[in-house]
Chains A and B, each alone.
Chain A
Amino acid sequence: MKKKASLFNLYRGSRKARILFLLLLILPVLVVYVATVLLPGLTNPFEDAAPPKVTVEPKDKDAVLSASAEETPESKEWSQKLAYLERDEAFWNSQLQLAKRDSFNLLLDFSDSAAILQIKGVPVRKCKMHRFNIGYAIGHLTAQGGLNQWLSSPFILQREFATIPKAPIRIMQAPADTNEANATNSQEIPLENNDVHFTMEFDRNLTVTVEQVQRPTFKGRMRKALYDVRRSLISTKEILQSLKNLKMPHQRVWIEIEITREDAKAIYRALPQKAGLVMKL
């Protein structure tokens, strides 16, 4: 009677072969996992982010410890209010810096679930965020006390990928005569109905992914799959580059927002290279 072939039945006849097989199967995976997943997670993932800002220096270590021990609910509440105000200050600092820049920028207001496109700080389009996800790394940054400092200056766009072209350019050859020109003019103007998904990579390890709310078409799904593969390939290339230079790969702080296709298209097309981003968390 034949036995079912499975990984566990492989090389059962020879223990040496089996051990060698399993060892060499697990070893590369383990090395890659430790180097690219575990170690970057355990070490400080915000190396590129500004160091945490210390607002008030403690008088001495003992005083701090005793104060923490004596912390009352009232003082905790005041501390929280202060932390909120500090975050607000970080946001307004960024906003002001962007308003002084002669460019487009994006404001992600999570407290109001809105993505706002701005030109020189003037809001020109307010888009409702139907859903948003913020990666776990933000929680770690908050716990490390570095969030306010991280938010206190605008993020600058470094790279972007999308399922639509940045400019919908159509090439037209000049007609030879008026008859040819009339024939060209009578052609219908193509309407753009492409699904819009895009990713923006900013400095200080921030990645913002924008997805459309509408269900994608079949063609849109295909395009999205290609775009996802392209993104993964680029991140893999970066990891390999880091490993080659004996550096720890960085975990990016990841934010995903969901807005309508029209809003996504308008934002993607409007944002230039080196666009700024501010966040209100």
Chain B
Amino acid sequence: MSSESITFPSALENSPKSNQSEAASAEHLKAEIEQDGATVAKPPSPFKAGCTGFCLGLILAAATLFTAPILREWTFSVLPYVKAAVTRNSADIGMIRQQMLQLEKRLSALKKKYNSLLPREPYLIVDTSENRITLMSKNKVQHQGICSTGSYVLLKATDNRQWIFKTPRGMYRVLGKVEYPVWRMPDWAFIEEGRPVPPPNSPERYEEGVLGQYAMSFGDGYLIHGTLYKRFLGMPVTHGCVRLDDEDLRTVYHAMHLGSKVFIY
């Protein structure tokens, strides 16, 4: 027996019979179809239709809910502005002028206060995302260059110790300045190279010349120093310190004083 989907004949739709009871309509339809021996079409059940409608409605409601912020934005675009009550006598120019004078005074005081918070002496900006430095003085760029900052490597040692090599962000101050610095290698420097860690005061820990000609500390053991690995400048490869090229280091070292600000982002 072949099965086919049934559609309602258009004649039936237009017939006045279709306006009569649903049972009669269904009977008529059934009789027509049974002649061909095809599958008998049942009249649409209101319960089934309701369920289908409700399910589809729920899906559409979920879509509405999902896009509610966008729809609300559209609603805002068509809603008229609700104006607040007039709180100022706008016709009184004299009063407005007086208010403006007071406001201007307050504004200049605010700006003055804000300017007093800005650094007066040279300061260094370190951009860790692009590995660039900018030396600023009196809100003007004095010098720009490339640097190397933290690699964001998380080194895991076999003894469950771990270190993350990132340059700290925020505002710091130059806490110390050294010429011809000597590097005291911490434990991670040996672990990273697969070498055995020597005792704390072992001469093996001290290495000369690797930090360049100058170094400036800005707290927690972090330094701004030179490098032997100049090909890595501009890349995030350090253990947290800021490495500069020799020329840049010289300029920065001479411009910055103890207490000068270093902004790292």
Known: A13-B26, A135-B73, A167-B166. A125 touches B127 (CB 8 A): yes
Stretch at the interface among B46-54, B207-215, B216-224: B46-54
Tell me whether B65 and A14 are in contact (CB under 8 A).
no
Tell me whether A189 and B236 are in contact (CB under 8 A).
yes
Tell me whether B57 and A25 are in contact (CB under 8 A).
yes
B240 → A minimal CB distance (Å): 13
Interface residues of B, CB < 8 Å — how many?
Answer: 100
Tell me whether B123 and A75 are in contact (CB under 8 A).
no
Known: A3-B7, A179-B194, A252-B69. A174 touches B22 (CB 8 A): no
Which of A20, A139, A181, A262 is B50 in contact with, Cβ under 8 Å?
A20
Q: Chain B residues near A143 (CB, 8 Å)? A: 81-84
A128 → B minimal CB distance (Å): 15
Please name the residue on chain A nearest to B109 by beta carbon.
Answer: A92
Which of B10, B106, B166, B169 is A3 in contact with, Cβ under 8 Å?
B10
Taken together as a complex, chains A and B put the C-alpha atoms of A72 and B118 apart, in Å, by 43
Taken together as a complex, chains A and B put the C-alpha atoms of A104 and B194 apart, in Å, by 38
Taken together as a complex, chains A and B put the C-alpha atoms of A265 and B50 apart, in Å, by 52
Interface residues of A, CB < 8 Å — how many?
Answer: 115
Does A131 reach chain B (CB closer than 8 Å)? Answer: no
Taken together as a complex, chains A and B put the C-alpha atoms of A240 and B88 apart, in Å, by 41
Which of chain A's residues 72-116 have a Cβ closer than 8 Å to chain B?
72, 74-76, 78-79, 81-82, 85-86, 88-89, 92-93, 95-96, 99-100, 102-104
Stretch at the interface among B32-40, B94-102, B177-185, B251-259: B94-102
Please name the residue on chain B nearest to A33 by beta carbon.
Answer: B64
Tell me whether B53 and A170 are in contact (CB under 8 A).
no
Known: A20-B53, A124-B125, A143-B81. A236 touches B75 (CB 8 A): no
Please name the residue on chain B nearest to A88 by beta carbon.
Answer: B107
Q: Chain B residues near A246 (CB, 8 Å)? A: none
Does A193 reach chain B (CB closer than 8 Å)? Answer: no
Does A130 reach chain B (CB closer than 8 Å)? Answer: no
Tell me whether B129 and A119 are in contact (CB under 8 A).
no
Taken together as a complex, chains A and B put the C-alpha atoms of A168 and B43 apart, in Å, by 64
Given contacts A36-B64, A92-B110, A104-B265, 7 further A-B contacts (CB under 8 A): A24-B51, A28-B57, A37-B68, A40-B72, A89-B103, A121-B114, A136-B76
A-B contact pairs, 8 of them (CB 8 A): A13-B12, A14-B46, A52-B84, A124-B125, A137-B73, A169-B164, A239-B65, A239-B68
A interface residues (Cβ-Cβ under 8 A, vs B) = 2-3, 5, 9-18, 20-29, 31-33, 36-38, 40-42, 45, 52, 54-59, 63-64, 67-68, 70-72, 74-76, 78-79, 81-82, 85-86, 88-89, 92-93, 95-96, 99-100, 102-104, 117, 119-122, 124-125, 135-137, 139-140, 143-146, 167-181, 189, 232-233, 235-236, 239-240, 249, 251-252, 254, 262, 265-266, 269-270, 272
B interface residues (Cβ-Cβ under 8 A, vs A) = 5, 7-8, 10, 12-13, 18, 22, 25-26, 29, 43-46, 48-54, 56-58, 60-61, 64-69, 71-73, 75-77, 79, 81-93, 95-97, 99-100, 103-104, 106-107, 110-111, 113-114, 117-119, 123, 125, 127-130, 151-158, 164, 166, 169-171, 191-195, 232, 235-237, 261, 263, 265
